[in-house]
Structure 1
Amino acid sequence: MPALPGQRLQRGVARLLRSLDHAVLTEFVPSRGLRVDVISLSPKGEVWVIECKSCRADFASDRKWQSYLDWCDRYFWAIDCDFPVDLLPEDAGLILADPYGGEIQRMAPEAKLAGARRNKVLRDFARAAALRLQGLTDPESISAGVY
């Protein structure tokens, strides 16, 4: 099991999203200087971004989360049962998770991506997924610079 609280939340969120038939990536970089905890592609083609918050300090120190709104159709917070929910803005979705799964408590409002932005996100998502898969099936290809 992942060691850090945020990683445990990521795992549960990823399991939830897979159960909803989403394709899921963790630690995805949509743009230079940004890294989302979880991004998924729904069966309908929606892009969801989920930011995992393990404690009050984790939330308070995050100064970039509003930038993630420009990279998804729906934005969610993922927290565990001990997180103080009242800290979170109410205009985003909410997922309650643990290392083994999760449940959507509040569906995120839809804010459709513009066509050019959607194209970039989907292209980058596909490249990241393919490169990660190749790294798993042929780890030497990464260290040899073969892509």
Structure 2
Amino acid sequence: MPSDLAENQIVIRRAILHLCGQMGWSSLNELPLPDGRRADIMALRPDNGFVCIEIKSGPRDFLTDAKWPCYREWCDQLFFAVDRDFPVALLPDSVGLMIVATDMRPAGYGIIAESAIMREAPACPLPSARRRKLTHLFAMQAAGRLGRLDDPAITASLRAARRIE
């Protein structure tokens, strides 16, 4: 695993995003939630279920984080994503577990990493009104990000116009 915690988080994120794609889940990084928090990864499953994935770069990251239980209110399943060296005994059994194993050989876009679900997260279905709100938020974020990628010049001119008004 990378020695730097920020680099470790990036490796975990990339591997988990790849795993989400393999499972047919559509995912967004850093999704702002209505309660002011931000999910590391929020994935929308083909069955319309939401999976929140909280990345932990090391034990200290987990031990100093008191906000993670609040993510349960915004998903059908909650997972922690950690590297293979993380002491998983620290993590509660009430949350799913994804483990990332890396090989430090470079590959086109960086480090080769593999990930797997080691423990399934208990299902806790969202109330329909909250699911509707989250689906709308997810769609708006995804569409906005795609639009900014499609034409950065238009995005820049829209930002400038908003500042003028």
TM-score range normalised by the length of the shorter chain: over 0.9
Q: Which has the larger radius of gyration?
A: 2
Q: What are structure 1's unaligned runs of at least 5 residues?
A: none
* Contact 1:11 1:101 survives alignment (8 Å): no
- 1:128 aligns to 2:141 (yes or no): yes
Q: How many residues align?
A: 145
Q: In structure 1, what is the Cα distance between the partners aligned to 2:40 and 2:10? A: 9
Using the size of structure 1 for normalisation, the TM-score is: 0.92
Question: In structure 2, which of residues 92, 111, 115 is the aligned counterpart of residue 89 of structure 1?
Answer: 92
Q: Please list, as runs of the form range in 1=range in 2, the aligned pairs for 1:62-81 lying within 5 A after superposition.
A: 62-81=65-84
Question: In structure 2, which of residues 106, 113, 116 is the aligned counterpart of residue 103 of structure 1?
Answer: 116
Using the size of structure 2 for normalisation, the TM-score is: 0.83
Higher RCO, Cα 8 Å, sep 6+: 1
- 1 or 2, which has the higher strand percentage? 2
Task: Using the TM superposition, give the Cα deviation of residue 62 of structure 1 relative to its aligned residue in structure 2, in angstroms.
Answer: 1.1
Kindly provide the amino acid, as one letter, of the partner of residue 39 in structure 2. V
1:91-134 CA-to-partner distances (Å, cap 9, x unmatched) read 11000024633100011010000011000110000010011111
Name the SS of the counterpart of 1:14 in structure 2: helix
* Counterpart residue number, 1:5: 8
Name the SS of the counterpart of 1:44 in structure 2: coil
1:13-57 CA-to-partner distances (Å, cap 9, x unmatched) read 110010000001111111242011111011111100000101011
Q: Please list, as runs of the form range in 1=range in 2, the aligned pairs for 1:50-65 lying within 5 A after superposition.
A: 50-65=53-68
| Aligned-residue RMSD, C-alpha | 1.6
Q: In structure 2, what is the Cα distance between the partners aligned to 1:95 and 1:126? A: 25
Q: What are structure 2's unaligned runs of at least 5 residues?
A: 1-5, 102-110
Task: Using the TM superposition, give the Cα deviation of residue 63 of structure 1 relative to its aligned residue in structure 2, in angstroms.
Answer: 1.7
* Counterpart residue number, 1:143: 156
Identity %: 37
Name the SS of the counterpart of 1:37 in structure 2: strand
Kindly provide the amino acid, as one letter, of the partner of residue 52 in structure 1. I
Q: In structure 2, what is the Cα distance between the partners aligned to 1:88 and 1:129? A: 30
Task: Using the TM superposition, give the Cα deviation of residue 143 of structure 1 relative to its aligned residue in structure 2, in angstroms.
Answer: 2.3
